[in-house]
Structure 1
Amino acid sequence: MHFHAYAYRGPGEAVQTFDAVRSPGGVGFETSPVPPERTSAWLAKPARFIKATWDDPVEAVAWLERQYAETRSSLLHPELQRHAPDVQALAAIALDTLQRGNDVVWAWWLTGGNYVDLAVVCCPNRDRDARCPLGRH
Structure 2
Amino acid sequence: MHLHCYRWTGRGADRARESERRPPHPAFPASPLPPMRTCDWLLKPRTRIDASPATVAEAVAWLTRRYRSAAESFLHPDGEARIGLDLRLHLAEEHLAGGVDVQWGIWLRGGDFITAAVICCSPNRHAPHPCPAAS
TM-score of the pair, normalised by structure 2: 0.94
Matches of 2:10 and 2:110, distance apart in 1: 10
Matches of 2:47 and 2:27, distance apart in 1: 15
Matches of 1:118 and 1:101, distance apart in 2: 17
Correspondences of 1:3-82 after superposition (within 5 Å): 3-16=3-16, 19-82=18-81
Matches of 1:81 and 1:35, distance apart in 2: 21
Matches of 2:127 and 2:104, distance apart in 1: 23
Q: CA deviation at 1:72?
A: 0.5
Matches of 1:82 and 1:4, distance apart in 2: 27
- Cα deviations across residues 90-137 of structure 1 (Å, max 9, x unaligned)? 11110110000000011100001000010000012113431100118x
TM-score of the pair, normalised by structure 1: 0.92
Matches of 2:114 and 2:94, distance apart in 1: 22
Matches of 1:83 and 1:92, distance apart in 2: 15
- Cα deviations across residues 55-76 of structure 1 (Å, max 9, x unaligned)? 2011001000011000000000
Matches of 1:127 and 1:94, distance apart in 2: 17
Structure 1 stretches (4+) deviating beyond 6 angstroms? none
Structure 1 residue runs without a partner (length 5+): none
CA RMSD of aligned residues (A): 1.4
Correspondences of 1:75-114 after superposition (within 5 Å): 75-84=74-83, 86-114=84-112
- Cα deviations across residues 16-67 of structure 1 (Å, max 9, x unaligned)? 16x2210111131111111101000000111011000022011001000011
2:105 pairs with 1:122: no
AA of the residue aligned to 2:100 = N
Matches of 2:11 and 2:127, distance apart in 1: 31
AA of the residue aligned to 1:126 = R
Residue identity (%): 38
Higher helix share: 2
Matches of 2:14 and 2:121, distance apart in 1: 27
Aligned length: 134
